[in-house]
Amino acid sequence: MRDFFEEQLKALRVRSLDRHLREICSAQGAEIETGGRRLVNFSSNNYLSLANDPRLREAALAAIGEFGVGGGASRLISGTQSPHLRLEGALAKWKGTEAALCFSSGYAAALGTIPALVTKGDVILLDKLCHASLIDGAKLSGAILRVFPHNDLGKLEGHLQWSHGEHAGKRILIVTESVFSMDGDRAPLRELIELKKRFGGLLLLDEAHAVGVIGPNGRGLAAAENLNKHVDVQMGTLSKALGTSGGYICSSRNLIDWLINRARSFIYSTAPPPAIVAAALAAVDFLASPEGEERRLLLWKRIRLMQEFLPRSELNKTSSDAYSAIFPWIVGDEQAALDLASALQSEGFLVPAIRYPTVAKGSARLRITVTAAHQDDQIRALCEAIKRLSAKL
Ligand SMILES: *Cc1c(COP(=O)(O)O)cnc(C)c1O
């Protein structure tokens, strides 16, 4: 009998779409060890370099001393330990909402929350470049799913009109991100909120790549634009700038209580480990402190430096101002992106090639992320290498 999986894998390889794991033999940071070498790491979402921060490590160790390592049960059974409630209190305060709820990942937050908000017969309007977790949550809900072209307010308005005509009286949920994970650009939040108010409906904003990066004390795009009160559901993750693991939803007390009763990925999954929760709380406390704000401003110095040194060609075509810590170098061809990634790796840089289905076919790219921990000369050296390589293309 022929091996089905072997054939499928071969088909992936032929199209340069096969993926492989890479062993990292060190903690996360501006430099990591892999394959017996140290590489400068421009691949992670550890924007503030908190993943191996002594404050977070100490918080985790102290929590292990007090609470051990396991959550024991689902949060609704006996898994809600003091760190969980402390973290949720701190998140709500930081985000300026009535309440917050944590999940074991951002993916689980999306998968549990969207189906709790809308169901069969309701309508979800989702930006084309939304993260897989949002798409999967939308599909799982059973609601009618309409995708609008990226940041296209005219098309969104058309969809809203259509929803009102064809699905009068049904709930409408608009889903988008504040910073798009593979493109690094932002949603036009103010205009989105205007539309939402005109037509009615709920807005879920995924702030995964904005928290810790954008807004006062890294509170995200909604806070930066003073629109917190108008975003019904603020989603985020503790696993990127906050350096740990887990997802969260910040919203009204009623909506959070509803999630506690209806979000299946919350109800039917063991509580996140107390040590990780305690580390995440230390990260939120850090961000809210003057030192945290200093770290965030340092990140923006690095972002501006990257903006300044990157070749002006494909990269940086957007505008004179960077939107986030994510810089996509869109190459197009999948194999070309892989070749560039390995050329950069032989020069000592880890920059991932992002391919279909993470991005559209034929829009493969190198996704460069900068962090507060990068040194100026590391950024300069990367940009020089990119210049050399792109001249050869
Ligand atoms: C990473 C990411 C998630 C998932 O968060 P995890 O905590 O890694 O599961 C959700 N949404 C967006 C936009 C992301 O980039």
- Specify the residue with its C-alpha closest to ligand 1, atom 4: 106
Residue that is written with structure tokens 């050296």 in the block: 381
Q: State the average pLDDT over residues 51-55.
A: 98
Question: What residue's CA is closest to ligand 1, atom 7?
Answer: 106
User: How far is ligand 1, taken at its centre, from the CA of residue 166, in Å?
Assistant: 32
Position 321 scores a pLDDT of 67
Q: In what order do the strands lie in the sheet with 202-206?
A: 99-103, 247-251, 233-237, 202-206, 172-177, 123-127, 144-148
Question: Could you tell me if the CB of 273 is within 6 A of ligand 1?
Answer: no
Q: 213 alpha carbon to ligand 1 midpoint, in Å?
A: 15
Asked if residue 95 lies in contact with residue 219, where contact means CB atoms within 8 angstroms, the answer is yes
Over residues 214-273, the pLDDT tens digits come to 999 999 999 999 999 999 999 999 999 999 999 999 999 999 999 999 999 999 999 999
CATH superfamily of 16-45+291-392: Aspartate Aminotransferase, domain 1 (3.90.1150.10)
Torsion angle defined by CA atoms of residues 353, 355, 359 and 362, in that order, rounded to the nearest 10 degrees? 110
Give 303's strand partners.
none
Whether 147 has a pLDDT exceeding 70, the answer reads: yes
**How far apart are alpha carbons 48 and 207 in whole angstroms?**
15
pLDDT digits (tens, 9 = 90+) for 326-371: 999 999 999 999 999 999 999 999 999 999 999 999 999 999 999 9
CA distance 87 to 102: 8
10 classed as catalytic: no
Q: Tell me how far the alpha carbon of residue 83 lies from the centroid of ligand 1, in angstroms.
A: 22
Ligand 1 atom with the shortest distance to the CA of 130: 13
Question: 54-287: what CATH class?
Answer: alpha beta
pLDDT at 1 over 90: no
Taking the centre of ligand 1 as the mean of its atom positions, its distance from the CA of residue 246, in whole angstroms, is 9
Distance from CA of residue 200 to its chain's centroid?
Answer: 27
Please, are residues 284 and 248 in contact by the beta-carbon 8 Å criterion?
no
For the chain, the structural domain boundaries read 16-45+291-392, 54-287
CA of 275 to the centre of ligand 1 (A): 20
Q: Is the CB of 131 under 6 A from ligand 1?
A: yes
Q: Is 244 in the pocket of ligand 1 (CB under 6 A)?
A: no
User: Could you give the C-alpha distances from 128 to 40, 148, 304, 392, in angstroms and in order?
Assistant: 32, 6, 28, 33
Q: Residue 392's pLDDT is what?
A: 85
Does any ligand 1 atom lie closer than 6 A to the CB of residue 247?
yes
Pairing of strands 123-127, 172-177: parallel
For the entire predicted model, the pTM comes to 0.96
Which one is catalytic: 131, 159, 196, 240? 240
Residue 82 has pLDDT above 80, yes or no: yes
The CB of 104 under 6 Å from ligand 1? The reply is no
Instruction: Please confirm, yes or no, whether 20 is among the known catalytic residues.
Output: no
- Give the atom of ligand 1 at the shortest distance from the alpha carbon of 239: 7
Closest C-alpha to ligand 1, atom 3 = 106
Q: Is the CB of 181 under 6 A from ligand 1?
A: yes
Active site residue 209: yes
Instruction: Confirm or reject: Cβ of 243 under 6 Å from ligand 1.
Output: no
Question: Residue 43: what residue type?
Answer: S
pLDDT in the model for residue 322:
78
Q: What is the C-alpha separation between 314 and 148, in angstroms, rounded? A: 25
**Ligand 1 in reach of 141 Cβ (< 6 A):** no
Question: Which residue in 209, 239, 251, 269 is the catalytic one?
Answer: 209
Considering all CA atoms of the chain, what is the largest pairwise distance in Å, rounded to the nearest integer?
64
The CA distances from residue 301 to 48, 294, 305, 367, in Å, are 12, 11, 6, 19
Distance CA 10, CA 17 (A): 10
